[in-house]
């Protein structure tokens, strides 16, 4: 039998943490609950956890600080839980390394769906990285399915991007989003379509997630991020990758 994935919940509200623990456990995961971020770095470095579920408002260090600390130590998914509804709060969480967020009050079934989707996405990335490592060990130095757009070179199977021959560091969702748009050049996609394609579940009306990731990508691939040539915004309609 496969070993259960372990989820670490950091939530100071006992009632909420009980709901989270009950539903996530019922979905087949092992769950551990903490009330604050004490010893978080040690826990993150242990490699025991497959996903971190973190509340924003916590005693001591808040969820944003914990998210940043975790992201400096591991690439596993981080799902933020917030009672705040302002876009800037969600943008702050994503900016500190979170992969996703869910707003209180939430449907427990949606929470489980987001946990499942983030873990599936991470597993695919790990599998791709493992396949690429095996190819390198076998002496295969060629990246498959290279996409070239101007001076940008994207290697989907290797999770690599270069510009003018220099490596560009992208986070998981940034790479997935860039790769999808690059594989479908000159096609317009709205925020809802991009969200469902990359995050793996129905769009919940939160445009901030897509907007933040688009802006991050532009900062890394565009010569002038404020005047993008490659990743274009069509106002009121969506985004497209120009080729």
Tell me what pLDDT residue 206 has: 61
Q: Which regions in the chain score pLDDT beneath 50?
A: 1, 133-134, 136-144
Cis amide bond preceding 2, omega within 30: no
What are the residue ranges spanned by the domains of the chain?
A: 6-122, 142-241
pTM of the model: 0.59
- Average pLDDT score over the chain: 85
Q: Taking Cα atoms as reference points, which of 147, 171, 167, 148 lies closest to residue 157? A: 147
Q: Is 114 exposed, middle or buried (0-12, 13-18, 19+ CB in 10 A)?
A: buried
Burial letters 79-105, b for 16+ CB under 10 A, else e: bbbbeeeeeebbbbbbebbbbbbbbee
| 181 contacts 189 by C-beta, under 8 angstroms | yes
CATH homologous superfamily of 6-122 equals Response regulator (3.40.50.2300)
Tell me what pLDDT residue 129 has: 53
Half-sphere exposure for 17 (CA within 13 Å, toward CB): 18
Q: Taking Cα atoms as reference points, which of 34, 85, 83, 79 lies closest to residue 60? A: 34
Tell me what pLDDT residue 192 has: 85
Distance in angstroms (rounded) separating the CA atoms of residues 20 and 18? 5
Tell me what pLDDT residue 140 has: 42
Tell me what pLDDT residue 203 has: 53
| CATH of region 142-241, choose from 1.10.10.10, 3.30.390.50, 1.10.490.10, 3.30.420.40 | 1.10.10.10
Tell me what pLDDT residue 128 has: 61
Tell me what pLDDT residue 201 has: 63
């Amino acid at each position: 039998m496969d070993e259960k994935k372990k989820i670490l919940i950091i939530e100071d509200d006992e009632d909420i943490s009980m709901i989270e623990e009950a539903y996530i456990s019922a979905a087949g995961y092992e769950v551990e609950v903490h009330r604050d971020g004490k010893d978080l770095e040690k826990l993150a470095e242990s490699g025991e956890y497959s996903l971190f579920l973190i509340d924003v408002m916590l005693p001591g260090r808040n969820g944003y600080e914990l998210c940043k600390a975790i992201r400096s130590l591991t690439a596993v998914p981080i799902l933020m839980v917030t009672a705040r509804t302002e876009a800037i709060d969600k943008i702050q969480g994503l900016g500190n390394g979170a992969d996703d967020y869910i707003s209180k009050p939430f449907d427990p079934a949606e929470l489980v769906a987001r946990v499942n989707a983030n873990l599936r996405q991470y597993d695919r990335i790990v599998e791709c990285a493992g396949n690429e490592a095996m190819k390198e060990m076998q002496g295969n130095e060629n990246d498959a399915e290279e996409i070239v757009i101007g001076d940008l070179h994207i290697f989907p199977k290797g999770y690599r991007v270069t510009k003018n021959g220099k490596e560009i560091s992208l986070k998981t969702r940034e790479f997935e989003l860039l790769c999808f748009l690059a594989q479908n050049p000159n096609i317009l996609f709205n925020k809802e379509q991009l969200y469902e394609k990359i995050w793996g579940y129905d769009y919940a009306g939160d445009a901030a997630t897509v907007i933040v990731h688009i802006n991050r990508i532009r900062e890394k691939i565009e010569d002038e991020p404020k005047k993008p040539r490659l990743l274009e915004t069509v106002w009121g309609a969506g985004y497209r990758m120009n080729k």
